[in-house]
Amino acid sequence: MFNLAIGLGVVLLLAILFLIFRISSLIGVAKGNTDKLETSSNKINGAMFLVFLVGTGFLFFWYSFKEFENYNLPVASEHGSEYEFLFWTTMAVTGVVFVLTQILLFYFSWKYQYKENSKALFYPENNKLEVVWTFVPAVVLAILVFTGWRVWTDITAPAPENTNNIEIMGYQFAWGVRYPGLDGELGNSDYRVIEATNSFGIDFNDKASYDDFIPREMHIPKGEPVTFNIRARDVLHSVFAPHFRLKMDAVPGMPTSFTFTATKSTEEMREELNDPEFNYEIACTEVCGRGHYSMKLTLIVDEPEDYRAWYAEQESFLKRNPEYLTKVPSDLKELAILKTGIDNKELD
Ligand SMILES: [Cu+2]
């Protein structure tokens, strides 16, 4: 509210200044001295370029330093350091060029404003200059693009066989998580069988689905490869876990995935940051509707043995919702009961 008031105040002040300027020009016109008017308006415009350069330049540096910790979170994944190196190299190269060109752009607009007796220099060509400013950016950009390509190929390389597969489904407005259960294999899903309880559309014709479980909290093991199998139920979403330098779109009808290895458990990160409340988070980073901001999921990184213990405790979806046994083909029913540990007596 306070910020809004300040913003409105600034806008109002600018509007008043503009009106004063406008009125004084009109008075000039009425008095008939239009030549003077042009020079003074040029001077004002030129000066405003300088004011803009200094003002926004100050804001740019002030904000970059003030928020530095928020966009440079500690890295907690294996590929993260490689990613960081590339990110900061690109940032340094483009940052220097950005600042220099902006300074030149606004400074020159002020310096070379119209003056009555000055004459522009006719300078039609300079081949050497052309070659230099074509060649240098081409080489720098080629290096950045090819290094980026190599890092990206590395990061998105096929998952190793021993990876921990976990499914993440984005929907308006939350994330759902499904684990493959003790068989390590995620069962098929089918959007046509989605309903209120079976919100994932688990397909009970697939025997791999019987021990799949849908926990309330998301856990992953430290130091082991984890693959997020990502899908969306309605519109575009995007899985974003900044500490792991992980971002991948969730696209309806087109499964995507991201494999990574966490290097610091939640407990270790709490110690490192000296913040006992700290938790890793997954956010949605694709504006997906009104509740976009609320798509937040807590992610807990456990030591592998704690993860196994937590994993073994989870009850399968089918065990929690035994009414879905009716969807299991009759020849697989026995297997489903065995796999999920449903008590036969409960069924009668
Ligand atoms: Cu979303």
In the prediction, which pLDDT does 100 show? 95
Q: Residue 83 Cα, ligand 1 centroid: separation in angstroms?
A: 24
Q: Residue 236 Cα, ligand 1 centroid: separation in angstroms?
A: 7
**Domains in the chain, ordered, with CATH?**
33-114+126-155 (no CATH), 164-341 (2.60.40.420)
Instruction: Look at strands 296-302 and 218-221 and give their pairing.
Output: parallel
Q: Residue 240 Cα, ligand 1 centroid: separation in angstroms?
A: 10
CA distance 344 to 348: 7
Q: Residue 146 Cα, ligand 1 centroid: separation in angstroms?
A: 31
**Model confidence pLDDT, tens digit, residues 143-184:** 999 999 999 998 989 989 889 999 999 999 999 999 998 888
| Range with lowest mean pLDDT among 2-6, 23-27, 79-83, 263-267 | 23-27
Q: Residue 177 Cα, ligand 1 centroid: separation in angstroms?
A: 14
CA distance 286 to 132: 40
Q: Residue 227 Cα, ligand 1 centroid: separation in angstroms?
A: 20
CA distance 43 to 40: 5
DSSP 189: B
The contacts of residue 320 (CB under 8 Å, 6+ apart) are none
Number of Cα atoms under 13 Å in the Cβ half of residue 22: 6
Of 309, 147, 301, nearest in space to 224 by CA: 301
Helix axes 34-66, 2-31, angle to 10 degrees: 170
Specify the pTM: 0.78
Of 164, 208, 187, 195, nearest in space to 311 by CA: 164
Q: Residue 241 Cα, ligand 1 centroid: separation in angstroms?
A: 13
Q: What is the largest CA-CA distance in the chain?
A: 102
The arithmetic mean of pLDDT across residues 274-288, rounded, is: 93
The contacts of residue 237 (CB under 8 Å, 6+ apart) are 170, 171, 249, 250, 284, 286, 288, 295
Helix (H) or strand (E) holding 164: strand 164-171
CA distance 41 to 46: 8
Helix (H) or strand (E) holding 230: strand 225-232
Contact 229, 239 (CB under 8 A): no
Q: Residue 283 Cα, ligand 1 centroid: separation in angstroms?
A: 8
Number of Cα atoms under 13 Å in the Cβ half of residue 29: 8
In the prediction, which pLDDT does 346 show? 52
pLDDT exceeds 70 at position 138: yes
Q: Residue 117 Cα, ligand 1 centroid: separation in angstroms?
A: 60
Q: Residue 239 Cα, ligand 1 centroid: separation in angstroms?
A: 8
The arithmetic mean of pLDDT across residues 306-321, rounded, is: 87
Q: Residue 260 Cα, ligand 1 centroid: separation in angstroms?
A: 21
pLDDT exceeds 80 at position 32: no
